Amino acid sequence: MHKIAAVNDFVIKFANINGTGSASANNMFAKSIFRSGVPVTPKNIFPSNIQGLPTWYEVRVSEKGYLGRRGGVDFMVATNGQTMMQDFQEVLPGGYFLYDNSKPLAPKYKRDDIHLIGIPLTDICIQEYTDPRQRQLFKNIIYVGALSYLLNIEFEVFAELVQDQFKGKEKLITPNIHALELGYRYAKEYYAETCQLKIERRDLNQGKILVDGNTGTALGAIYAGATVAGWYPITPSTSVVDAFEKYCKRLRVDPANGMNNFAIVQAEDELAAMGMVLGASWNGARAFTATSGPGVSLMAEFLGLAYFAEIPGVLVDVQRTGPSTGMPTRTQQSDIMAAAYASHGDTKHVCLYPANPKECFDMSFNAFELTEYLQTPVIILSDLDLGMNDNMCDAFEWNDEIDYNRGKVLSTDELENLKERWGRYLDVDGEGIGYRTIPGTHPTKGSYFTRGSSHDEYAAYTESSEAYVRSMQRLEKKWDTAKTLVPKPNIRIENKQSKVGAIFFGTSTDAAHEAIDLMQQQNVSVNGLQIKAFPFTAEVEAFIAQHDTIFVIEQNRDGQMKTLLVNELQLDPARLTSVLNYDGMPITATYIVEQIEATINQNKVTPLQQADRG
């Protein structure tokens, strides 16, 4: 019988029940591969519930460094009776199915194209442990131990991981290592030659880290000097603020007096969260909030205020599957329009689209710089896939020389020495951005009234048509300035001659790059561009101009980024072909290739069909 054989290139999936402690065991597994120097991409597929429902953990191992989702399962670790049949079916022919054989498999589990690996997890636990909680927890560690043997992962790597994990709770180390050994030994005894999937040590992860995007965003905010966070819990954004708090407590507590150089307030809802951000930013602090789709909808009114009254503020939108409550624990890139054009009236907002935790970190810093310089809100659009999963990327970097650019803020001295009459909304530099003042700066100069109603250059209330139009036109000028300041795209030219280009952003990036490689292997050269920001910079426009056929790869139904491109750059929509995946699971390279090749070959696309990505 065929056996899938591969070194450092396979997908293993764990089927568990949430709330049973599998998460930390599975994380340890992924990290063991990372520490073996082999690129790895774990993805959590979890329910919108707390305990007792099916949850999966899908780990892709790729020596070539492909970090997108691959699809297909080579090795299944099936510990959840509720989904066992479905998990059983999902294994690719020639693949492996690890299960708890304390009870024999029911006869309906019949496939002769896959390899069964039975480990009596329950029996071992009953034998070894008396405490029921321990019996449950160590089951997970035992299968990880078995995998160490089966996949040839150095046992020492696990030993070290256990040590790191239980730093401070040392007495847990020995039992965990013991449990690993139980699994290892059992596998060795009964499945010595079974598995042809192997991990071999490499040194491919130099300078890399394995971390979730939300942590990257949070650290970026810390390094950017954000001091105020107002927020409201919502999956998958909650861990942005959790991480911010965690690191603030480590890094921002004044050693002299134990007091906090930060303030985090759990608001009563998202409207309040955004209000806090605007109040704090108006008052000269760097402030942010994090939310997901429903929160963005609720913040629309405040975002319009910030646009029109020109108040900074950073909003992190960790997107999930919409509309409405949708699938709160599934991923999507579907708040693109809601963010870019949030609020009534003529409004548009600067958006950043990070693709990995490093970009989360960098763009989080960027966001604070931009929002203060441009005096307009900046929205970071991450998503569940990036935010809540560990993603491999370059280590975070910080240049100690860089100073914060707080934008056009008048100091006490500058106010004192003002020669001309100051106007909050006067466009002194021709950039469309006025000079602002922070309350309390000067006893007699620089006070003004901030309002969402129409105002003139001196911040006075006005119902003058002319004054209104002037300010709306200046906001357009500011928008043009923004185009020159936001991060430029990442361009990849496979072939200068090629007239086919692919545009992608955020978590479609890794899969898109892999797809470009795959197509190149078939001698189809596709150039690539990763959008990093809205509004689009000149480079985006130029790239589109240089290619006849452009694919826009995104994870939503309506081709929202395409809409932005068409609308903002006044492009013929016929020039852009959408490649859309919106089923809540991260997009795969195979799917992209299928879609693009279908178009190239037949010059015909069926973008709204859902592909089989087995």
Ligand X SMILES: Cc1ncc(C[n+]2csc(CCOP(=O)(O)OP(=O)(O)O)c2C)c(N)n1
Is 367 among the residues that bind other proteins (CB under 8 A)? Answer: no
Binding-site size, a second copy (CB under 8 A): 67
Q: Which two tokens stand for residue 203?
A: 């040194």
Q: Which residues in 315-344 contact ligand X (CB under 6 A)? A: 325
Stretch that binds ligand X, among 130-138, 227-235, 337-345, 437-445 (CB under 6 A): 227-235
Is 485 among the residues that bind a second copy (CB under 8 A)? Answer: no
Q: Which residues in 288-307 contact a second copy (CB under 8 A)? A: 293-294, 296-298, 300-301, 304-305, 307
Binding-site size, ligand X (CB under 6 A): 8
The residue within the footprint of ligand SF4, chosen from 1, 50, 256, 574 (CB under 6 A), is 50
Secondary structure element (H or E) that encloses residue 413, with its range: helix 412-416
The residue within the footprint of other proteins, chosen from 461, 480, 573, 610 (CB under 8 A), is 461
Q: What are phi and psi of 581, to 5 degrees?
A: -130, 125
Distance (Å, rounded) from C-alpha 187 to C-alpha 230?
A: 50
Stretch that binds ligand X, among 163-171, 293-301, 511-519, 565-573 (CB under 6 A): 293-301
Distance (Å, rounded) from C-alpha 614 to C-alpha 591?
A: 10
Is 11 among the residues that bind a second copy (CB under 8 A)? Answer: no
Distance (Å, rounded) from C-alpha 124 to C-alpha 148?
A: 17
Residue 149 is classified by DSSP as H
Least separation in angstroms between residue 23's CB and ligand SF4 is 15
The residue within the footprint of other proteins, chosen from 13, 349, 442, 532 (CB under 8 A), is 442
Least separation in angstroms between residue 486's CB and other proteins is 22
Is 93 among the residues that bind ligand X (CB under 6 A)? Answer: no
Q: Which residues in 447-466 contact ligand SF4 (CB under 6 A)? A: none
Is 18 among the residues that bind a second copy (CB under 8 A)? Answer: no
Q: Which is nearer to ligand X, 180 or 234 (CB)?
A: 234
Is 360 among the residues that bind other proteins (CB under 8 A)? Answer: no
Q: Which is nearer to ligand SF4, 50 or 574 (CB)?
A: 50
CA 608 from centre of chain? 24
Stretch that binds other proteins, among 43-51, 194-202, 514-522, 593-601 (CB under 8 A): 43-51
Least separation in angstroms between residue 303's CB and a second copy is 8
Q: Which residues in 245-274 contact other proteins (CB under 8 A)? A: 247, 251-252, 254, 257-274
- Measured from each CB, the residue nearest to ligand SF4 is 50
* Strand-strand pairing, 208-212 and 228-231: unpaired
Q: Which is nearer to a second copy, 183 or 328 (CB)?
A: 328
Q: 250 exposed, middle or buried (CB, 10 Å; 0-12, 13-18, 19+)?
A: exposed
Least separation in angstroms between residue 463's CB and other proteins is 11
Q: What sign does the CA torsion over 437, 440, 442, 444 have?
A: positive
Closest to 367 in 3D by CA, of 479, 482, 480, 231: 482
Residue 120 is classified by DSSP as -
Closest to 596 in 3D by CA, of 502, 498, 528, 509: 502
C-alpha dist (Å) from residue 248 to 225, 251, 254, 341 = 11, 5, 10, 32
Q: Which two tokens stand for residue 484?
A: 């020159």
The residue within the footprint of a second copy, chosen from 308, 353, 368, 543 (CB under 8 A), is 308
For residues 442, 448, 451 and 457, what is the CA-based torsion angle, rounded to 10 degrees?
A: -130
Closest to 503 in 3D by CA, of 562, 551, 567: 551
Task: Choose the contact partner of 597 out of ligand SF4, other proteins, ligand X, none; CB within 5 to 8 A by kind.
Answer: none
Distance (Å, rounded) from C-alpha 526 to C-alpha 513?
A: 10
Q: Which residues in 542-561 contact a second copy (CB under 8 A)? A: 556-558, 560
The residue within the footprint of ligand X, chosen from 298, 438, 600, 605 (CB under 6 A), is 298
Q: What sign does the CA torsion over 219, 224, 225, 229 have?
A: negative
Least separation in angstroms between residue 340's CB and ligand X is 20
Least separation in angstroms between residue 247's CB and other proteins is 8
Distance (Å, rounded) from C-alpha 240 to C-alpha 246?
A: 10
Closest to 349 in 3D by CA, of 341, 337, 357: 341
Task: Choose the contact partner of 172 out of other proteins, ligand X, ligand SF4, none; CB within 5 to 8 A by kind.
Answer: none
Using DSSP's 3-state secondary structure scheme, residue 397 falls into coil
The residue within the footprint of other proteins, chosen from 2, 5, 24, 48 (CB under 8 A), is 48
Contact string (CB under 6 A) for ligand SF4, positions 82-121, x = contact: ----------------------------------------
Using DSSP's 3-state secondary structure scheme, residue 316 falls into strand
Q: What is the DSSP string of 567-596?
A: HHHT--GGGEEEEE--SSSPPBHHHHHHHH
Is 561 among the residues that bind ligand X (CB under 6 A)? Answer: no
Q: Which is nearer to ligand SF4, 278 or 388 (CB)?
A: 388
Q: Which residues in 391-420 contact ligand X (CB under 6 A)? A: none
Least separation in angstroms between residue 53's CB and ligand SF4 is 11
Least separation in angstroms between residue 307's CB and ligand X is 16
Task: Choose the contact partner of 263 out of other proteins, ligand SF4, ligand X, none; CB within 5 to 8 A by kind.
Answer: other proteins
Q: Which is nearer to ligand X, 270 or 359 (CB)?
A: 270
Task: Choose the contact partner of 193 out of ligand X, a second copy, other proteins, none; CB within 5 to 8 A by kind.
Answer: none
361-392: buried (b, 16+ CB within 10 Å) or exposed (e) per residue? bbbbbbbbbbbbbbbbbbbbbbbbbbbbbbbb
Residue 262 is classified by DSSP as -
Least separation in angstroms between residue 46's CB and ligand SF4 is 14
Is 238 among the residues that bind other proteins (CB under 8 A)? Answer: yes
CA 80 from centre of chain? 28
Q: Which residues have CB under 8 Å from 74's CB, separation 6+?
A: 4, 6, 10, 11, 12, 91, 92, 95, 96, 197
C-beta separation of 30 from 221 below 8 A: no
Q: Which residue has the tokens 């929002």?
A: 371
Q: Which two tokens stand for residue 441?
A: 């700066």
CA 246 from centre of chain? 19
The residues that touch ligand SF4, with contacts defined as CB under 6 A, are: 50-51
Sites of contact with a second copy (CB under 8 A): 47-48, 293-294, 296-298, 300-301, 304-305, 307-309, 321-330, 332, 334-335, 337-338, 341-348, 451-454, 463, 465-466, 468-469, 472-473, 476, 556-558, 560, 563, 566-567, 570-574, 582-585, 608, 610
